[in-house]
């Protein structure tokens, strides 16, 4: 198990190195630079050159890259160009916001989607099944930010049940924080329900076709128990993989939802930094995102044997 972990982590190094190179190259390919953004329309060339030198942006790009990598190796992600904050704490702070929303939303979505998919598969082609599939497909078809805007319109502006914008950390005021993130979570949950229900249903249909289900029934096992004990664990395994993928991706960027609900999350930090050409932050965010993706997938793989004993991590 530990050996497996070590091997997996070792295997991610080339990927992350590629990511780092790609990120760095991409960031430098983007036209414009942070100095111009900072100086705006009054960019005196001499001044710009001075600032560039101050930020180390006047050095050849390979040198800059080596500097960055060397610092990264010591865990130093550098400082933001726009506000001089250390990048890693900044990322971690923003990440908390995204992570809370994503984790709660995906968990909630899974709790709704998996039973719904299971029941739909059980009653395949019934009216119930049709409405579950139809509903899931509909949820899948709505642009997430539009859905978010509609929810805002309804609950925030028309009913005035929830605050429309802003964010307060949970550490500061739990209830207020909760009120701020209810809608983003609801939005994300609904979108993910669409994805996960369809997956859970498909997986359950596969499992329901298998003979061990008939075997269980032939032993006189009641239907609910057949579903709960025999179908669910086996149908959950592929869904779990999908949940991992979804988590991995969402944790890196729910920029759109964060923008709709004006949450200071990681996705928005990244988008804002791209627009500000804040190289250290963009690079840090993208790399962090990639690491999260890799780590989440690793965790998912490590958990997989819980659902499917055939898979061993060794």
Tell me which residues in 140-199 interact with another protein (CB under 8 A).
140-146, 149-150, 152-153, 157, 159-168, 173, 175-176, 178-180
Residues 113-142 that bind another protein (CB under 8 A): 124-125, 130, 133, 137-138, 140-142
Cα 181 to Cα 74: distance, rounded to the nearest angstrom: 35
Among 5, 9, 30, 228, binds another protein (CB under 8 A): 30
* DSSP 8-class letter at 229: I
Site size toward another protein, by CB under 8 A? 112
* DSSP 8-class letter at 86: B
Among 62, 73, 74, 219, binds another protein (CB under 8 A): 219
Any contact of residue 52 with another protein (CB under 8 A)? no
User: Which two three-digit tokens encode residue 225?
Assistant: 């128990």
Residues 55-94 that bind another protein (CB under 8 A): 82-85, 90
Residue 171 C-beta: closest distance to another protein, Å: 13
Residue 56 C-beta: closest distance to another protein, Å: 15
* 244: nearest Cα among 196, 209, 212: 196
Binding flags for another protein, 233-262, as an x/- string (CB under 8 A): xx--x----------xx--xx-xx--x--x
> Which residue stretch of 26-34, 57-65, 67-75, 108-116 sits at the interface with another protein (rule: CB under 8 A)?
26-34
Residue 131 C-beta: closest distance to another protein, Å: 11
- CA 270 vs. chain centroid, Å, equals 13
Among 60, 62, 220, 224, binds another protein (CB under 8 A): 220
* 106: nearest Cα among 206, 184, 180: 184
Residue 291 C-beta: closest distance to another protein, Å: 8
Residue 119 C-beta: closest distance to another protein, Å: 15
Residue 64 C-beta: closest distance to another protein, Å: 18
For the four alpha carbons of 261, 262, 266 and 270, in that order, the dihedral sign comes to: positive
Q: Among residues 47 and 70, whose Cβ is nearest to another protein?
A: 47
Any contact of residue 264 with another protein (CB under 8 A)? yes
Q: Cα–Cα distances in Å, from 282 out to 22, 173, 254?
A: 12, 30, 15
Any contact of residue 49 with another protein (CB under 8 A)? no
Among 1, 5, 9, 22, binds another protein (CB under 8 A): 22
Which residues in 191-212 are b (16+ Cβ under 10 Å) and which e?
Answer: bbbbbbbbbbbbbbbebbeeee
Three-state DSSP at 102 gives: helix
> Which residue stretch of 59-67, 103-111, 112-120, 306-314 sits at the interface with another protein (rule: CB under 8 A)?
306-314
Length of the chain: 314
Any contact of residue 275 with another protein (CB under 8 A)? yes
User: Which two three-digit tokens encode residue 118?
Assistant: 């299971």
Cα 177 to Cα 260: distance, rounded to the nearest angstrom: 16
């Amino acid at each position: 198990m530990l050996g497996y972990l070590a091997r997996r982590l070792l295997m991610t190094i080339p990927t992350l190195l590629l990511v780092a190179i790609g990120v760095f190259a991409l960031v430098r390919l983007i036209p414009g630079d942070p100095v111009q953004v900072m100086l705006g329309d009054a960019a005196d060339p001499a001044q710009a050159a001075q600032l560039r030198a101050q930020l180390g942006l006047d050095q050849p790009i390979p040198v800059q890259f080596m500097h960055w990598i060397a610092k990264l190796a010591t865990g130093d992600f550098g400082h933001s160009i726009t506000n001089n904050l250390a990048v890693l704490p900044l990322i971690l702070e923003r990440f908390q916001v995204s992570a809370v929303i994503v984790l709660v939303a995906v968990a909630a979505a899974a709790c709704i989607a998996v039973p719904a998919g299971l029941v739909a598969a059980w009653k395949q082609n019934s009216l119930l099944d049709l409405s579950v599939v139809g509903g899931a497909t509909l949820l899948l078809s709505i642009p997430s930010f539009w859905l978010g805007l509609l929810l805002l319109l309804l609950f925030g502006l028309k009913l005035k049940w929830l605050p429309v914008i802003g964010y307060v950390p949970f550490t500061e005021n739990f209830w207020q924080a909760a009120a701020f993130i209810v809608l983003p979570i609801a939005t994300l949950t609904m979108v993910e329900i669409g994805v996960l229900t369809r997956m859970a249903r498909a997986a359950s249909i596969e499992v329901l076709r298998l003979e061990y289900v008939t075997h269980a029934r032939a032993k006189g096992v009641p239907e609910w128990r057949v579903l709960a004990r025999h179908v669910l664990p086996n149908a959950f395994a592929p869904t779990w993989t999908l949940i991992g993928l979804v988590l991995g991706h969402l944790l890196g960027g729910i920029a759109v939802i964060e923008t709709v609900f004006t949450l200071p999350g990681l996705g928005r930090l990244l988008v804002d930094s791209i627009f500000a050409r804040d190289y250290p932050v963009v690079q840090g965010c993208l790399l962090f995102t990639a690491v999260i993706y890799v780590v989440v997938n690793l965790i998912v793989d490590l958990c997989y044997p819980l659902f499917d004993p055939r898979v061993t991590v060794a």
